[in-house]
Chain A
């Protein structure tokens, strides 16, 4: 048997669990395409890596003149898709556009690699398509080797 002071008795593990706060993650931004959320009006991203991946995808898919107020926002890949058949250096042009856009609008992303390939299956919409796979790091968030895949259709 021992002698204890009430001041040093502390709390039990059970008490701690019972009083544990139910912490809700703070939303960062809406995911795109927009969709209705469960607790919020829209489905929101709650971790920074997902939010930046969403932003990067939007940046790559946006062409110049589409963003209100920022004419030169976006990788502007659509012009490359208009003469896809006759253009030999699509990859180099696309890489250049993506790199310039990322440096301009998302400089905290470190681009690693770029892969493009024509979609192999028969196009259901009747147009050709190219799939781009971009591998990138986000050093400030300790995210490495994350991949983003987007599909571009010929015009």
Chain B
């Protein structure tokens, strides 16, 4: 066997594969020719024809080597240089190619409305309170246009019946009677321009039809409709057949959760891609023919078979793949219609205008649900003033190619699914705020089910106190997390257990100092310590840290006593959690532990932190 292998080796002409550049390739070729063709040609000097042939071969090898290196480099984002390849790598890594970003700023709209006396109370006439509709536009001093993206309803009220809008007295007559009120209400605005483009689709259906929008730096495609009334939804991939729509929450918890997630089927859908070089946006519509799919909800499988004319025997029925592609699997699109695409574009650092620089109302779309007289409505409309009390923020120039390339590793690592606990927490905390906001979340193993995870969540109210997360938020959360969840995993969404505590302590204070001032300083420091923003679910309290906090206050000579007590139910009209908890039995080695999924809270710091000087 060994002899045979040696014979095989001898039969192979030895080649060297290490040469990559012109000189080394020429050198190796020269050695090869001299070794294997000494009786055929001997003159390989530069001035000879043999040298010319060597140069040709080395030149070709050098070129191939260069392009091999080049193409290999194009496979990796850090070494790729060609725009088209960088774009492919970005797309493969799911890095969104974006243009310039618009700025966002709340703009306050001021109106002056007549006063009316209702039930003996002088107040803004409710019939004259308008709604400033979304898409109203305002202009900054540097000519950047801002679009209102939400309705401003001046008649909206809190649960106590007061207006959300801030109300100030406007004009009075000579007798001092209030004639008008000035109302101010803020609405979120986004910079850039909004436009609508139409694309005419011919009678012949074209799968994956593409249209490129004429403006670059598109920040948002607001709506896509066709002349037949179909609504097209933007999806991440054409295989996604549902979208999540936020609808107004009409339940009692709508002050905490303004919107509800609704799952909407999206048979008409499209994806977008942005060109790296000119940041123009191209829309790709589905592959299914709406015309052919309207007839049968479930298509007839036999229609996919290719007919077999002139044959009486066959082994397998061949299937026409073109027909299969026209199913609704990858979305459907209509032919012989006109697409109407409304989108927003433009942005950049220049859109981050300073405060008090947006003062011009370019177009105000205002409605009056109370149907006041036209003269009154006209006067209110003409008297509108606007202002931005804070700087606009969020405007960014388009990220450079290098910026986008730098995102590839992180985006690749953060998969579009929940695998680890941080993945789950990241998804919980990044739920859009209009679906409710989780204040704290924690993940624990389910002791009864190894495939399940317990997710404890808690929210807080406007008084900065912990409250049980509303059911609507949990429902939204479940729908939001579901697409990211692996099929075999289960997530139990549970309420975190709130342990309300009172904290009392006695300290010895330096007699040369004012004890009341020292105690007040201690209380202030402890209120900061017990601020709920500093606590997480499952976070213990280290007693010595508390002691250290107290000792940091000048004038404290010693701490005589520190006592935690659990407080529950309703005490002096203060409502606490109903969870009972024994601090003493749960304190080990100077650390007080909450129960699983529990979070400590000093709910009313003004009264629940009790200090007293030692006698």
Please list the residues of chain A having a beta carbon within 8 angstroms of any beta carbon in chain B. 26-30, 32, 34, 40, 44-45, 51, 54-56, 58-59, 67-70, 73, 105-106
Q: Are B42 and A105 in contact (CB under 8 A)?
A: no
Note all chain A residues with C-beta closer than 8 A to B72. none
Q: Are B55 and A28 in contact (CB under 8 A)?
A: no
Q: Are B22 and A30 in contact (CB under 8 A)?
A: no
Q: Are A55 and B48 in contact (CB under 8 A)?
A: yes
Q: Are A28 and B52 in contact (CB under 8 A)?
A: no
- Annotate B35-49 by CB proximity to A: 1 below 8 A, 0 otherwise: 000111111011111
12 CB-based A-B contacts, threshold 8 Å: A26-B38, A27-B39, A27-B40, A27-B42, A51-B43, A55-B48, A58-B47, A58-B49, A59-B47, A67-B52, A68-B55, A69-B59
Known: A28-B41, A68-B59; 8 extra A-B contacts, CB below 8 A, are: A26-B42, A30-B50, A34-B49, A51-B43, A55-B43, A55-B45, A69-B58, A105-B47
- Interface residue ranges of B1-58 to A (CB < 8 Å): 22, 38-43, 45-50, 52, 55-56, 58
Q: Are B39 and A67 in contact (CB under 8 A)?
A: no
B386 → chain A, closest Cβ, in Å? Answer: 69
A140 → chain B, closest Cβ, in Å? Answer: 13
Q: Report the separation of the CA atoms of residues A56 and B49 in the bound assembly, to the nearest whole angstrom.
A: 11
Q: Are B42 and A106 in contact (CB under 8 A)?
A: no
Interface centre among B39, B42, B50 (most CB of A within 10 A): B42
Note all chain A residues with C-beta closer than 8 A to B47. 55-56, 58-59, 73, 105-106
Residue of B nearest to A30 (CB): B49
Given A68-B59, A69-B55: A28 in contact with B42 (beta carbons within 8 A): yes
Note all chain B residues with C-beta closer than 8 A to A73. 46-47
Note all chain A residues with C-beta closer than 8 A to B58. 69
Note all chain B residues with C-beta closer than 8 A to A30. 41, 49-50
Note all chain A residues with C-beta closer than 8 A to B55. 67-70
Note all chain B residues with C-beta closer than 8 A to A44. 41
Q: Report the separation of the CA atoms of residues A38 and B145 in the bound assembly, to the nearest whole angstrom.
A: 86
Q: Are A29 and B49 in contact (CB under 8 A)?
A: yes
Q: Are A40 and B40 in contact (CB under 8 A)?
A: yes
Note all chain A residues with C-beta closer than 8 A to B45. 55, 106
Please list the residues of chain B having a beta carbon within 8 angstroms of any beta carbon in chain A. 22, 38-43, 45-50, 52, 55-56, 58-59
Interface centre among B22, B38, B43, B50 (most CB of A within 10 A): B43
Q: Report the separation of the CA atoms of residues A32 and B45 in the bound assembly, to the nearest whole angstrom.
A: 15
Q: Which of A26, A51, A68, A69 contacts B48 (CB 8 A)?
A: A51
Q: Report the separation of the CA atoms of residues A34 and B49 in the bound assembly, to the nearest whole angstrom.
A: 10
Q: Report the separation of the CA atoms of residues A106 and B46 in the bound assembly, to the nearest whole angstrom.
A: 9
Residue of A nearest to B60 (CB): A68
Q: Report the separation of the CA atoms of residues A44 and B40 in the bound assembly, to the nearest whole angstrom.
A: 9
Residue of A nearest to B55 (CB): A69
Note all chain B residues with C-beta closer than 8 A to A55. 43, 45, 47-49
Q: Are B46 and A29 in contact (CB under 8 A)?
A: no
B290 → chain A, closest Cβ, in Å? Answer: 59
Residue of B nearest to A51 (CB): B43
Q: Are B43 and A26 in contact (CB under 8 A)?
A: no
Note all chain A residues with C-beta closer than 8 A to B41. 27-30, 44
Q: Report the separation of the CA atoms of residues A30 and B38 in the bound assembly, to the nearest whole angstrom.
A: 14
A47 → chain B, closest Cβ, in Å? Answer: 11
Note all chain A residues with C-beta closer than 8 A to B49. 29-30, 32, 34, 54-55, 58
Q: Are A69 and B22 in contact (CB under 8 A)?
A: yes
Q: Report the separation of the CA atoms of residues A45 and B49 in the bound assembly, to the nearest whole angstrom.
A: 11
Q: Report the separation of the CA atoms of residues A8 and B49 in the bound assembly, to the nearest whole angstrom.
A: 52
Residue of B nearest to A32 (CB): B49
Q: Report the separation of the CA atoms of residues A40 and B41 in the bound assembly, to the nearest whole angstrom.
A: 11
B117 → chain A, closest Cβ, in Å? Answer: 98
Q: Report the separation of the CA atoms of residues A45 and B46 in the bound assembly, to the nearest whole angstrom.
A: 17
Interface centre among A34, A40, A55 (most CB of B within 10 A): A55
Q: Are A68 and B52 in contact (CB under 8 A)?
A: yes
Q: Which of B22, B38, B46 contacts A105 (CB 8 A)?
A: B46
Note all chain B residues with C-beta closer than 8 A to A45. 43
Q: Are B43 and A70 in contact (CB under 8 A)?
A: no
Q: Report the separation of the CA atoms of residues A26 and B43 in the bound assembly, to the nearest whole angstrom.
A: 11
Q: Report the separation of the CA atoms of residues A30 and B37 in the bound assembly, to the nearest whole angstrom.
A: 14
Q: Which of B22, B42, B56, B59 contacts A29 (CB 8 A)?
A: B42
Q: Report the separation of the CA atoms of residues A55 and B49 in the bound assembly, to the nearest whole angstrom.
A: 8
Note all chain A residues with C-beta closer than 8 A to B42. 26-29
Note all chain B residues with C-beta closer than 8 A to A106. 45, 47
Residue of A nearest to B62 (CB): A69
Q: Report the separation of the CA atoms of residues A71 and B39 in the bound assembly, to the nearest whole angstrom.
A: 31
Interface centre among B46, B56, B59 (most CB of A within 10 A): B46
A50 → chain B, closest Cβ, in Å? Answer: 11
Q: Report the separation of the CA atoms of residues A106 and B22 in the bound assembly, to the nearest whole angstrom.
A: 21
Residue of B nearest to A26 (CB): B39
Q: Report the separation of the CA atoms of residues A70 and B56 in the bound assembly, to the nearest whole angstrom.
A: 11
Q: Report the separation of the CA atoms of residues A30 and B40 in the bound assembly, to the nearest whole angstrom.
A: 10
Note all chain A residues with C-beta closer than 8 A to B48. 29, 51, 54-55, 58
Q: Report the separation of the CA atoms of residues A69 and B57 in the bound assembly, to the nearest whole angstrom.
A: 11
Q: Report the separation of the CA atoms of residues A87 and B67 in the bound assembly, to the nearest whole angstrom.
A: 46
Interface centre among B41, B58, B59 (most CB of A within 10 A): B41
A25 → chain B, closest Cβ, in Å? Answer: 10
Q: Are A29 and B50 in contact (CB under 8 A)?
A: yes
A64 → chain B, closest Cβ, in Å? Answer: 14
Nearest 6 A/B pairs, CB to CB: A29-B43, A55-B47, A69-B55, A28-B43, A105-B47, A29-B50
Q: Report the separation of the CA atoms of residues A14 and B199 in the bound assembly, to the nearest whole angstrom.
A: 101
Note all chain A residues with C-beta closer than 8 A to B40. 27, 40
Residue of B nearest to A40 (CB): B40
Note all chain A residues with C-beta closer than 8 A to B43. 28-29, 45, 51, 55
Note all chain A residues with C-beta closer than 8 A to B46. 70, 73, 105
A70 → chain B, closest Cβ, in Å? Answer: 6
Residue of A nearest to B54 (CB): A69
A72 → chain B, closest Cβ, in Å? Answer: 11
A109 → chain B, closest Cβ, in Å? Answer: 10
Residue of A nearest to B26 (CB): A69
Note all chain A residues with C-beta closer than 8 A to B39. 26-27
Note all chain B residues with C-beta closer than 8 A to A59. 47
Q: Report the separation of the CA atoms of residues A32 and B43 in the bound assembly, to the nearest whole angstrom.
A: 13
Q: Which of A32, A34, A56, A68 contacts B56 (CB 8 A)?
A: A68
